[in-house]
Amino acid sequence: MALLKATRVSDVPTLDVLVPDLAAAARIDVQKRAAGRLAVIGHRGKGMNALSSPDRRLQEVKENSVRSFNEAARFAVDYVEFDVQVTKDACPIIFHDNFIFTEEHGKVSDKRVTDLRLDEFLRYGPQNKEGKNEKPLLRKMKDGRILNWNVQSDDPLCTLQEAFEKVNPRLGFNVELKFDDNLVYQEEELSQILQAILKAFFEYAKDRPIIFSSFQPDAAQLMRKLQSTYPVYFLTNGGTEIYTDVRRNSLEEAVKLCLASGMQGIVSEARAIFRFPAAIPKIKEADLSLLTYGTLNNVPEAVYMQHLMGVNGVIVDLVPEITKAISDLIAAPQTDMEIEDLSSKVMKDATSTPNFTHREISFLLRLMPELVQ
């Protein structure tokens, strides 16, 4: 079987395709990891499931599952990212979509995930116990199609508690607090949801590195207000999409929100970083960590450019390929002795690592906004 490699730029037809100081410690941890290399975060584990994609790597392991998290742990990732919602009976569960689909008696039906009790939620998909009846798990695509959620390596849906108990303890958790963009949440409702999530963290997290993040500005601010144990990052498209809430519409607004509420970092769509590279120095001046997400993070050259630009970490789908590419492209800083040793021998694979001059980097930064339009 031919080996699958990470996507190169030339292959992409379009680029749009529990101590009080743990919060500061986790933020510094991301920055330190990125001092010699980028921190790598597995998206929904070993990668999201794109069921309609011709790329079979995006259908390998069920996303947001214990199996996917532990598969990611086999590679040089620092964190796994996943989505947390709270069931009707106040149990934090791990699931991305707002609605869950199944087929019964030949008819497709859907339920809002947060309207289900825990036992109802866990009936979807494969079961942990033999003999238990499962509901077929389907997924709605952005184009409206509903597909069977078929992957090569399936796994049951899981709770946040299970993730703490069953996932490799060396992995940090980058936890997206998931809310529906089409709903309006009152502070009391947000508080109840976040308190249910925090209860699980204070009971099971132990000393595992944790980062909270959310696209919902009020939820992110409230999580920062409710606790100081774990850092909170604001998730933003950075202006690549426009919302009625102006706080979501630019990196500049994201910085303002973080500074006003004491949040510790920003997680931006990677395209926004390339379109608006001048925002990076402002983020750094504000003493905020910067992570990115998006399909560009499956392109090694784009990841390498972000490293040069000062991004602290990347959330990626192609975990094996990108961790290897980062290892190859971003060498650890050399000691004086190592530099001296190089003078007496031929440097192996010297041409495999890009070595841009400051002038070339400046040119690329001016060019990138045009490339990602």
The DSSP result for 106-142, as a single string, is TEEEEEEGGGS-HHHHTTBSS-SSTT---BPPEEE-T
Contact assessment for residue 81 and residue 176, using Cβ atoms and an 8 Å cutoff? yes
Q: Kindly provide the b/e burial profile for residues 172-211, where b requires at least 16 CB atoms within 10 angstroms of the residue's own CB.
A: bbbbbbbbeeeeeeeeeebbebbebbbebbeeebeebbbb
Predicted confidence (pLDDT) at residue 365 exceeds the cutoff of 90: no
Q: Which has more confidence, 39 or 22?
A: 39
Residue 144 gets the label, from left (phi > 0), alpha (psi -120 to 50) or beta, of left
pLDDT in tens, 177-188: 999 999 999 999
Rounded to a whole number of angstroms, the distance between the first and last alpha carbons of the chain is 36
Q: Kindly provide the b/e burial profile for residues 316-331, where b requires at least 16 CB atoms within 10 angstroms of the residue's own CB.
A: bbbbbbbbbbbeebbe
The reported pTM is 0.84
Cα distance between residue 104 and residue 124, in whole Å? 12
pLDDT in tens, 130-160: 656 689 999 999 999 999 999 999 999 999 9
Beta pairing, strands 172-177 & 79-86? parallel
pLDDT for position 134: 85
Total residue length of the chain: 373
Structure tokens at 359: 């002038």
Helix (H/G/I), strand (E/B), else coil: 158: strand
Predicted confidence (pLDDT) at residue 12 exceeds the cutoff of 50: no
Residue 129 confidence class, pLDDT cut points 50, 70, 90? confident
Predicted confidence (pLDDT) at residue 30 exceeds the cutoff of 70: no
pLDDT in tens, 68-82: 999 999 999 999 999
Provide mean pLDDT across the span 230-252.
Answer: 96
Residue 311 confidence class, pLDDT cut points 50, 70, 90? very high
Q: Looking at the DSSP assignment, which residues form a beta bridge with residue 212?
A: 175, 232
Find the radius of gyration of the CA atoms of the chain.
21
Q: Which has more confidence, 122 or 364?
A: 122
- Residue that the structure tokens 């980058």 belong to: 174
